[in-house]
Structure 1
Amino acid sequence: MSTVLKLLRTGGTLSPYTPGRSGSFTQPQNPLISRTAFSAAHVVCDPFADTNPLHDSRIDWDATLAYRRHLWSLGLSVAEAMDTAQRGMGLHWTRAQELISRSITEAKAVNGRIACGAGTDHLLPSNEVTLEDVEAAYEQQCAFVEGEGGQIILMASRALTAAARGPEDYERVYSRILSQVSQPVILHWLGDMFDPALAGYWGHRNLNEAMDVCLRVIHAHADKVDGIKISLLDADKEIAMRRRLPSTVKMYTGDDFNYPTLIRGDEQGYSHALLGIFDAIAPAASAAIQALDRGDMAAYERILEPTVALSRHIFQTPTYAYKTGIVFMAYLNGHQSHFRMLGGQESSRSLTHLCELFVLADRAGLLVDPELASERMRLVLAMHGII
């Protein structure tokens, strides 16, 4: 018998809601081949750790690594220690190193693909930070990832944004790092809607001018660039940049609003994926890529179309709070036993937001066990005084 919930809706009203049946998403029998699809994976905190949760959150390693095995079982690749894992918002570099090391070991055990974030987040931005400091910080983290046997995702740097005086400084730093790495990396251009500290990246506020700088770096070091993930939430900008990349360099969409169209592509090309939303919609993402592999465009559209409203809701302003929705989905679907996050970030979204997320996930067929999800939603409602 389906559970009827009283959900808090916009305007402060309570409305009855009965979830439907879960969607039917097929497990892949073969590797996904038509697109490379990375899911940026979240971390599960340890709710029993007797530490200050605002400054010293601990990770539940069993649950965190189990979720990565879940993603690999769906044929997806894992983007590790990225912003979805609360990098710079609860996950500091010391803890990220352990996460990277453990996840690479797991990846090798199941033959799963993994790429790991390397940045400068152990270097606090300030007026005293020099370009040499930024380069040294990048070098330290890149050396660690490659030393563990991982592919690098070269993350955008808050410290570089603070230290750079113009586009030539970005070209200098990226040229130095790319000349040293031993394997091609994935560059990551994260827009300021995801991290306000990155405003004006590549030395320009104007995105077209910033893109010109980024493309100069890529063309100068094409042999060291596997691809670039851009997270600007602007499909036209991504397509324009995609068409200007060297033929050997992939575009990895980071557009959590327009991913179905960008991954499907057009007559001149398509984007691969490196998406935070693929953590929350992993079964649907896998099934959609399987449909592309079969050449079944109708099934591809049918699977992903209802996930877009959910993604746009999870990534609504302030966009950087999207991690809360990602973890809430994992909680609803039984991948973790609690709704706690590093740094107490579970409080970053309102109860109304979480109720709407529940409805949109249900409509997309992404509540794996509607009864379990309803019981967990009921507990969250009760915690907020709704019995």
Structure 2
Amino acid sequence: MDIILPAESGDRVGYRLVGQPAEPIIGAAFPRVAYAAAHVVANPFAMTDPWSQAAVDWDRTMAFRHHLWRLGFRIAEAMDTSQRGMGFDWASAKELIRRSIAEARTMKGADLASGAGTDHLAPAAARTLDDVIHAYEEQFAFIEGEGGKAIMMASRALAAVAKGPDDYARVYDRILSQASGKVILHWLGDMFDPALKGYWGSRDFEPALDTVVGIIERHAGKIEGIKISLLDAGKEVLLRDRLPEGVLMFTGDDFNYPELIAGDGRRHSHALLGIFDAIAPAANAALARLGAGDRAGYDALMAPTVPLSRKIFEAPTEYYKAGIVFMAWLNGHQNHFTMVGGMQSARGICHYADVFRLADQAGLLADPELAVARMKSFLAVAGV
């Protein structure tokens, strides 16, 4: 099967599909805890003002969560992959969390954790640490009131008002001490959100690491684990080696996840990844191989997904959501490529052409004929 794709040179280049669709193993046991941070499906017919109105196709959004659950993944709900802070507000996130928790109860073995942040508090409106604390408390109360588990997301408001590490410690100590269940922490790098530069009270990694480890050590019994999203495997390993017994390391490294999940023979990372949304069939099969002791089979399945992930998460990294939703559209999980906030416009046509090529080579075009037909229609609109 052939298609003409654009190149950055301005040329049109012929491409012949080579991939064989990945074959997931339903019911496979994973050797790692694996959360997929899931996207939301926009409702283009309800968005009269797409840049400012978050309209969601709830049926398709819930159907995609069932797709991930069937493949054995837990879901990290209402995280940055769902465009929190990029067109998807707290009011919409509450409805998403409520619906997802209810859906999980209808499916045996389904599990999820939901993002608790401060995004209903504009950073410019935050004056004190108490403002940030109260914002976190509101979101925690909603999630826990629905019977859910919270992921404590990084806060733009806290980054704006905190004067140093002690301020971060005060906020995290307060929230963790009163959480009703175990919490997952999230260390999100400024490549994902420039407003988080200097998070934990320092722009240098080592002092920030000390601050995080101190918080975790004080509240180890309340923390399931921590996700680190710095796109730096070495930094993740440094944190992983310092975690108290029983606190899990969740890789959020969408560049180096295969090696971090597999581990070094001594320690390994679990996973909470946005890229799992797009590569779920291949990741399912790979994790099943790893669980069976077949490291070579795991590597063979995971390795081709890395170039795709690195393309989707290339700088400006915060726009990775566009590639995630593009993949869902190519694979028939939604019938349009429209995003909350019009975010599909965040990447150029050559980027999407590269994503298409790399998805094929990773075996991640589930129905190549459908994907080619949709890609051709997309290219036609772009004048290719």
CA distance in 1, matches of 2:373, 2:243: 48
Q: Tell me what 2:368 maps to.
A: 370
**Identical columns (%):** 57
Q: Tell me what 1:110 maps to.
A: 107
CA distance in 1, matches of 2:285, 2:233: 23
Which among 131, 134, 137 is matched to residue 132 of structure 2?
134
| Cα displacement (A) at 1:26 | 2.8
Q: Secondary structure at the match of 2:24?
A: coil
CA contact under 8 A between 1:20 and 1:370: conserved in structure 2?
no
CA contact under 8 A between 2:41 and 2:57: conserved in structure 1?
yes
Deviations 1:136-166 (A, max 9, x none): 0000000101111111000000000001011
Which among 330, 345, 363 is matched to residue 328 of structure 2?
330
Q: Secondary structure at the match of 1:288?
A: helix
Aligned residues: 383
1:99 pairs with 2:96: yes
CA contact under 8 A between 1:156 and 1:190: conserved in structure 2?
yes
Deviations 1:362-382 (A, max 9, x none): 000100011100000000000
CA contact under 8 A between 2:228 and 2:252: conserved in structure 1?
yes
Q: Tell me what 1:222 maps to.
A: 220
CA distance in 2, matches of 1:125, 1:50: 26
| Cα displacement (A) at 1:288 | 1.0
CA contact under 8 A between 2:19 and 2:361: conserved in structure 1?
no
1:124-203 equivalence runs, <5 A:
124-126=122-124, 128-203=126-201
Q: Secondary structure at the match of 2:249?
A: strand
Q: Tell me what 2:246 maps to.
A: 248
Amino acid at match of 2:70: S
Q: Secondary structure at the match of 2:370?
A: helix
CA distance in 2, matches of 1:329, 1:127: 37
1:87 pairs with 2:61: no
* Structure 1 unmatched runs, 5+: none
CA contact under 8 A between 2:254 and 2:273: conserved in structure 1?
yes
Amino acid at match of 2:345: S
Q: Secondary structure at the match of 2:304?
A: helix
Runs of 4+ in 1 over 3 A off after TM superposition: none
| Cα displacement (A) at 1:128 | 5.0
Q: Tell me what 1:284 maps to.
A: 282
CA distance in 2, matches of 1:171, 1:308: 35
The alignment yields a C-alpha RMSD, in angstroms, of 1.0
CA contact under 8 A between 2:54 and 2:341: conserved in structure 1?
yes
Amino acid at match of 1:305: A
Which among 203, 206, 211 is matched to residue 204 of structure 2?
206
CA distance in 1, matches of 2:47, 2:168: 42
| Deviates most, 87-96 or 11-20 | 11-20
Amino acid at match of 1:323: K
TM-score (norm 1): 0.98
* Structure 2 unmatched runs, 5+: none
CA contact under 8 A between 1:226 and 1:249: conserved in structure 2?
yes
Deviations 1:187-220 (A, max 9, x none): 0000000000000000000011101000000000
CA distance in 1, matches of 2:162, 2:363: 46
Q: Tell me what 2:230 maps to.
A: 232
CA contact under 8 A between 2:54 and 2:92: conserved in structure 1?
no
1:287-298 equivalence runs, <5 A:
287-298=285-296
Change (3 A) 1:127 1:167: farther
Deviations 1:93-117 (A, max 9, x none): 0000000000011111113010000
CA distance in 2, matches of 1:186, 1:284: 25
Change (3 A) 1:11 1:300: same
Amino acid at match of 1:29: G
Q: Tell me what 2:71 maps to.
A: 74
CA distance in 1, matches of 2:33, 2:379: 38
Q: Secondary structure at the match of 1:216?
A: helix
Which among 17, 34, 37 is matched to residue 34 of structure 2?
37
Which among 17, 21, 38 is matched to residue 19 of structure 1?
17
